[in-house]
Amino acid sequence: MKKVLVCLLVCVMALTLFTACSAGSSSDVIKIGINYELSGGSATYGQSSVEGIEMAIDEINQAGGINGKKIVTVKYDNESKESEAATLANKLVSQDKVVAILGPATTGCFTSQIPVANKNKVPIITGSATGDNLTLAADGSVHEYVFRICFNDSFQGRVMANFAVNNLSAKKAVIIMDSSSDYSKGLANNFKDTFTAAGGTIVAEEAYVEGDTDFNAIITKIKGLDFDIIYLPGYYNEAGLIIKQARTQGIDKPILGGDGFDSPVLLELAGAEALNNVYFTNHYSEIDEDPTVLKFISDFEARYGKKPNAFNALGYDLAKFVADAISRAENLSGEAIKNALADTENFAGVTGTLSVDEKHNPVKSIFVIELKDGVQHSSVKVNP
């Protein structure tokens, strides 16, 4: 019996020591979740975002971390599936015990994890999900633990409509949208409202669905119409093919789109020759001469051997934005971090200076980019 008691005592002491050591170790780090589309239909957005996030976190850790604590990331691939994004969010908060989740990149995948954030009181923050009501509940109230650092679809659609009228002197437009995408429909509706309010006319509205590859019937249908511009608020997968097929059929009118154009795959699908007289709204311009942007580009090229796109820049800003809030939070609880995120003012990032408004959206500028032979040729910065 005595030996049994001694053995039990030794085990208890060992367990206590292990627990103390583990607690000491965990107190030296801050765990942040990364829930992104690293494969599947939106993989280029997720991969680019994570490249920026990891670059930023390495910089933060090399500079001493957050208040002396290193950031440790837990990264998962949601495969561009909304159900998988929600499952992984649950895993990140319940099993991995992260203090915040970065991503996903797209509105659908990001929205799927909102119930997880609200239930567990863990902030989730996206760099690129632009759906209008992303941060709002059905009753119009603000989701306490939901934030983003990108502009929304309403702003994007309005800016491009005004650009079409004021910069391109457009009076008649054709809209070609993805009817299976809330992103595409949101941009289309806001473009239409602003364009018609400014005196413009929508002469045709055509639709396709995600995964379509042959758009010649749509293009043949609009080819004989009288219009000044085409508004194509879609993702690069279909947009690249639509642009190529439109140019092949002889349509040389300006083609306008949203930030979904910003992917190297657009060039691969459309070809450089087709990507002239093409404009799109974006969070960032790689030809911006701002010193902060120039340094980011230089550092990114040194790390990855390629030029950064907007999703690289948004991922980078997202990580720095969240780290800034954590550094100001009273403690590492979800509530404290949420409050610090909401209080953010004049955060200076690569994609611009932003402050968080009462709906947890950023107040920041936007760019309209012009492509020539598939590369950025000029940009117009529009302030909020």
Per residue in 119-156, pLDDT tens?
A: 999 999 999 998 889 999 999 999 999 999 998 888 99
* Cβ–Cβ < 8 Å for 364, 151: yes
Q: How far apart are CA 267 and CA 223, in angstroms?
A: 23
- Name every residue whose Cβ is closer than 8 Å to that of residue 314 and which is 6 or more positions away in sequence: 49, 52, 127, 128, 149, 150, 283, 284, 351
pLDDT at 261 exceeding the cut of 80: yes
Per-residue tokens: 72 = 């440790």
* Band (4; pLDDT cuts 50, 70, 90): very low
Q: What does the pLDDT read at residue 246?
A: 98
Domain over 25-151+289-365 is classified CATH 3.40.50.2300: yes
Start and end residues for every CATH 3.40.50.2300 domain found in the chain? 25-151+289-365, 153-282
* Band (26; pLDDT cuts 50, 70, 90): low
Backbone phi and psi for residue 101, each to the nearest 5 degrees, phi listed first: -120, 130
pLDDT at 5 exceeding the cut of 60: no
pTM: 0.82
Tell me what the pLDDT averaged over the chain comes to: 92
- Long-range pairs for 272-276 at CB < 8 Å and ≥24 separation? 272/373, 272/374, 272/375, 273/247, 273/373, 274/243, 274/244, 274/246, 274/247, 274/248, 275/243, 275/371, 275/372, 275/373, 275/374, 276/371, 276/372, 276/373
Q: How does DSSP classify residue 121?
A: T
In the chain the beta strands, taken as DSSP E runs, fall at 29-36, 70-77, 100-102, 124-126, 146-148, 172-178, 201-208, 229-231, 255-257, 278-282, 347-349, 352-356, 362-363, 366-372, 375-382
Q: What is the mean pLDDT of residues 15-32?
A: 56
* Cβ–Cβ < 8 Å for 381, 325: no
Q: Are strands 375-382 and 229-231 parallel, antiparallel or unpaired?
A: unpaired
Per-residue tokens: 23 = 């607690």
CATH label, 153-282, candidates 2.60.40.10, 3.30.70.260, 3.40.190.10, 3.40.50.2300:
3.40.50.2300
| Beta bridge partner(s), residue 207 | 177
pLDDT digits (tens, 9 = 90+) for 44-81: 999 999 999 999 999 999 999 999 999 999 999 999 99
Q: What does the pLDDT read at residue 92?
A: 98
Q: What does the pLDDT read at residue 154?
A: 86
Residue among 267, 235, 16, 250 nearest 105 (CA): 235
* Cβ–Cβ < 8 Å for 367, 379: yes
- Name every residue whose Cβ is closer than 8 Å to that of residue 376 and which is 6 or more positions away in sequence: 285, 286, 287, 369, 370
In degrees, rounded to 5, the angle at the alpha carbon of residue 173 between the alpha carbons of residues 168 and 179 is 125
